[in-house]
Structure 1
C-alpha cells in the first residue's frame, strides 16, 4: 500500500512539475517576444514598418488632401493680402516692400504644402535617428534566460510538498494568463502608435496650409508639435524598455519562487502601463494638444 501511495505521489509530483515548467516556458517566451518587439518596432520609420500602408497614405495625401489644402491656402493667402492692405491706414501707407514680402511668404507657403509628405517623413527620420542612437546606450536586452529559470525552479520544486506544488501550478497558470493579456496590450500600443503616425501623415497638407497666416498658423504649429511628439515617443518607449531590462536582470529566482514569479509579472505590468503613458508624456513635452 505504501508503494502505491508513493507511486501516486511521484506521478502527481511529475505532473505538477511538468505543468509548472510548461507554464513558465510559455509565459517567459511570450514576454521575451513582446518586449523584444518593442525595441525593434519603435526604431522603424513609417515606410520601413509597412511599405504597402505607407504607399497608400502617400497616395491619399497627394491625390486627396493636397487639392483640399490648395483651396485652403488660396483662402488663407487672400485673407493675408486683404489684411496686409487694410491694416496700413486703409491702403494709404502702402510700401512696395510689402508685396515682395507677401510674394515670398506665398512661395514659402506653397512650397511647404507641396512638400508636406517629405517634411512629415523627415520628422520621423529624425525620431528614428534618436531612437537608434539611444539603442546604443540603453540596454534593450529584456530577454529572460528561460533555461536557467526553469532549471532553478525544478531544483527548488524537488523539496516542495504536493500542496505547495499545486499552489505553484495555479500561480503559474494565473501569471501566464495575465502575461498573455499584457502581451496583447503591448501589441495594441505598438500598432496603435504606428496607425496614429499614418493618420497624422495623411492629412498633414491641411494644417501646413495655415502656417503662413498669423491667426490661423496655430493649427499648423500645433500639428508640427504633434508630429515631433509622435516621433520622440519612440525614444521614451526605449527608455521604458531600458528600465525594464535593468529591473528584470535583478530578479533572483532562487531566493523566493513566489515573489520572483509575481515580480516578473509586476515589472511587465509596469512596462505596459509606462508604454501607455509615453504618448501623453511626449505631447506634454512638446506642448501639443
Structure 2
C-alpha cells in the first residue's frame, strides 16, 4: 500500500513539475515577445508610426505655431530695440556693440524659430538612431532552458504541497501576464 501511495505522489509531483516548468517557459516567452514588440514600436520614426498625425502636426506647426511665435518674437525684439535706443537717448554714449548684439540675438532667434520643427525632428532621429543601434541588446531573448534544468532539480526536492502552491502562483503570474499583454 505504501508503494502505491509513493507512486501516486511521484506521479502527481512529476505532473506538477512539468506544469510549473511549462508555466515558466510560457512566462518568459511572453516577456520576450513583449520586449521585441516594444523595441519595434520605440524604434519607429514619427512618420513611420502614424504618417497622418505627423503631417497634421507638421502642418499646424508651420501654419499656426510659427506665425504666432514670429509675431511674439517681433514684438519682443522691437521692444528691446526701442528700450536700447531710449536708454542712450543723447547718442553721445551710444555703443555700436549694442546694435551688433541686438542683430545677433535677432538672427539667432529667427533661425531657431524658422527651424524649430527641424530641430525637434533631429531629436527624434537621434533617439531613433540610439534605439536602432541598441536593437541587439533590446531584442535579446531570455534563454531559460539552462535555468529550467536547475529549476527542475530544485522542484524535485520540494514536497507535493509546496509544488501545488508554486503551481498556483505560476498560474496567477501567467494569468497576469496574459491580462497585461
Unaligned regions of 5+ residues in structure 2, if any?
none
| Residue aligning to 1:75 | 75
TM-score (normalised: structure 1):
0.48
Shift of 1:166: 1.0
| Residue aligning to 1:161 | 159
Shift of 1:44: 4.3
* Residue pairs, 1:108-257, within 5 angstroms: 108-132=108-132, 135=134, 139-140=137-138, 142-154=140-152, 156-176=154-174
Count of residues paired in the alignment: 180
TM-score (normalised: structure 2):
0.69
* Residue pairs, 1:81-100, within 5 angstroms: 81-88=81-88, 90=89, 92=91, 93-94=93-94, 99=99
8 A Cα contact 1:85 1:91, kept in partner: no
Unaligned regions of 5+ residues in structure 1, if any?
185-289
8 A Cα contact 1:45 1:128, kept in partner: yes
Larger Rg: 2
Higher normalized contact order (CA 8 Å, seq sep 6+, divided by chain length) = 2
| Residue aligning to 2:66 | 66
- CA RMSD of superposed structures (Å): 3.8
